[in-house]
């Protein structure tokens, strides 16, 4: 296990927490770049899911004059995207989808977003900070990045239910074992997904 994996031409790198890099078709997208290594390459686009300190942060080390920043509920981005909105970024299509808490106060509905990113041959979903919500039954993707840490987001069992609703080919757990209150076992998540989905969903645990 490393901190990156490749599926259908898409390279996914998890830097830690919910900070992710997606690379496909010669493009490089970063999502919520709160955690970054010292040596990184510039982004074609930076996507921000919401305005909390551990997601919406300046990222000069990955920004140049050609970088496009997009966000919902975050004051940093150059482009604000609403839920249901779409942006074309150099041939890839970014769509903002709902991400919110149902029974927690941390992420009210409308305050944050998840993202679907459609590359030429693969579609990725970064769920953002969210519970298992009804809108997930309408998500169609090849690869899903789902939070499992609980407290602020879904816990392991809720994330397994999200996998059942979304039915991706590959799922990567994120947003766990970083902040206080986000302790979770990705191995337990994988075990439950394999059991519930009869081995039809590939769980890839990335270790920053």
- The answer, as to whether pTM is greater than 0.75, is yes
Domains of the chain: 4-203 (3.60.15.10)
pLDDT at 147 over 80: yes
Give the model's pLDDT for residue 51.
64
Top-confidence residue, 167 or 60: 167
The whole-number average pLDDT for the span 129-158 is 97
Least confidently predicted of 46-55, 162-171, 197-206: 46-55
Give the model's pLDDT for residue 53.
65
Least confidently predicted of 102-111, 113-122, 125-134, 154-163: 102-111
Top-confidence residue, 153 or 78: 153
pLDDT at 142 over 60: yes
3-state secondary structure the chain: CCCEEEECCEEEEEEECCEEEEEECCEEEEECCCCCCCCCCCCCEEEECCCCCCCCCCCHHHCCCCCEEEECCCCCCCEECCCCCEEEECCEEEEEEECCCCCCCCCCCCCCEEEEEECCCCEEEECCCCCCCHHHHHCCCCEEEEECCCCCCCCHHHHHHHHHHHCCCEEEEECCCCCCCCCCCHHHHHHHHHHHCCCCCEECCCCC
pLDDT at 1 over 60: no
pLDDT at 75 over 70: yes
């Amino acid at each position: 296990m490393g901190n990156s994996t490749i599926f259908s031409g898409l390279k996914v790198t998890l830097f830690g927490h919910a900070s992710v890099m997606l690379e496909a078709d010669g493009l490089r997208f970063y999502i919520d770049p709160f955690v970054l290594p010292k040596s990184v390459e510039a982004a074609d686009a930076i996507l921000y899911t919401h305005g909390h300190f551990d997601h919406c942060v300046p990222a000069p080390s990955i920004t140049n004059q050609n970088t496009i920043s997009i966000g919902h509920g975050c004051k940093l981005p150059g482009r604000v995207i609403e839920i249901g909105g779409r942006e074309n970024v150099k041939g890839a299509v970014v769509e903002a989808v709902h991400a919110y808490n149902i029974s927690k106060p941390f992420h009210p509905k409308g305050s944050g977003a998840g993202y679907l990113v459609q590359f030429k041959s693969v579609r990725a979903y970064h769920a953002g900070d969210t519970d298992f919500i009804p809108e997930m039954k309408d998500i169609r993707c090849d690869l899903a990045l789902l939070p499992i840490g609980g407290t602020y987001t879904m816990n392991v069992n809720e994330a397994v239910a999200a996998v059942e609703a979304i039915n991706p080919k590959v799922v990567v757990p994120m947003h766990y074992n970083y902040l206080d209150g986000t302790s979770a076992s990705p191995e337990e998540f994988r075990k439950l997904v394999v059991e519930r989905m009869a081995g039809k969903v590939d769980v890839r645990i990335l270790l920053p």
